[in-house]
């Protein structure tokens, strides 16, 4: 796990958002594990008894879409979104941090576009009472609503990180802003991982 920037002693909005994203990832991962057993059961029944579970494919598609949407924010905190930064790493820190802000702004724009169109589709499904053309006949607003909520949380996280980075830049804390919204240089990442490991050891010793 890639550590984020150092935190204070109290809970902040970033801590809350990070905690929610972590819970969402665990729930999504658990749902995917359950679905994997369901799909395995369908394969066995189909091959051995020539009986299929028609709901398995539909449910797995919903779970994959929803869990992915809710994982975007966690991936953002953990620096898992792909960025090509080989060139910009050569820039001086004060210019580099603005490239990081620009990248975060582009990601927020992308998340906002997804949210805008997703909300439009959800509204049409609610208005028309649309249902899936499957044996389950699932009301489409349920999976669509969960997906839109995940995208909305991702968009809010992008804005939160962007605004926090701008505040840090305005306060002259360029390195902290870069740590918050930028990718880590290999040396910097090693230092942060060591700091995170030390923090965890300290928390364990206190709890013990």
Write the CA distances from 189 to 82, 112, 186, 196, integer angstroms: 16, 29, 5, 10
Cα atoms found within 13 Å of the Cα of residue 42, Cβ hemisphere only = 15
| pLDDT one-digit tens code per residue, 119-155 | 999 999 999 999 988 888 889 999 999 999 999 999 9
Helix (H) or strand (E) holding 63: helix 54-77
Domain borders along the chain are 13-207
Average pLDDT, stretch 162-181?
A: 87
| The predicted structure's pLDDT at residue 121 | 95
Tokens, residue 67: 């869990």
Please name which of 184, 181, 183 lies closest in space to residue 165, comparing C-alpha atoms. Answer: 181
Kindly report whether the global pTM for this prediction surpasses the value 0.85.
no
| pLDDT one-digit tens code per residue, 69-103 | 999 999 998 888 777 666 666 677 778 788 889 88
């Amino acid at each position: 796990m890639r550590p984020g920037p150092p935190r204070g002693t109290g809970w902040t909005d970033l801590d809350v958002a990070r905690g929610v994203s972590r819970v969402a990832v665990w729930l999504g991962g658990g749902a995917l594990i359950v679905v994997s057993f369901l799909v395995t059961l369908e394969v066995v029944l189909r091959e051995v008894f020539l009986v299929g579970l028609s709901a398995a494919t539909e449910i797995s598609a919903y779970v994959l879409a929803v869990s992915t949407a809710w994982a975007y924010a966690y991936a953002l905190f953990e620096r898992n979104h792909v960025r090509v930064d080989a060139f910009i790493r050569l820039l001086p820190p004060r210019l580099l941090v603005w490239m990081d802000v620009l990248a975060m702004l582009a990601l927020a724009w992308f998340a906002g576009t997804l949210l805008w169109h997703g909300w439009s589709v959800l509204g049409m499904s609610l208005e028309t009472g649309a249902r899936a053309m499957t044996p389950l006949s699932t009301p489409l607003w349920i999976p669509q609503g969960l997906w839109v909520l995940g995208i909305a949380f991702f968009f809010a996280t992008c804005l939160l990180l962007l605004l926090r980075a701008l505040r840090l830049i305005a306060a002259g804390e360029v390195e902290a802003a870069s740590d918050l919204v930028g990718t880590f240089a290999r040396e910097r990442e090693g230092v942060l991982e060591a700091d995170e490991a030390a923090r965890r050891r300290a928390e364990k010793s206190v709890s013990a």
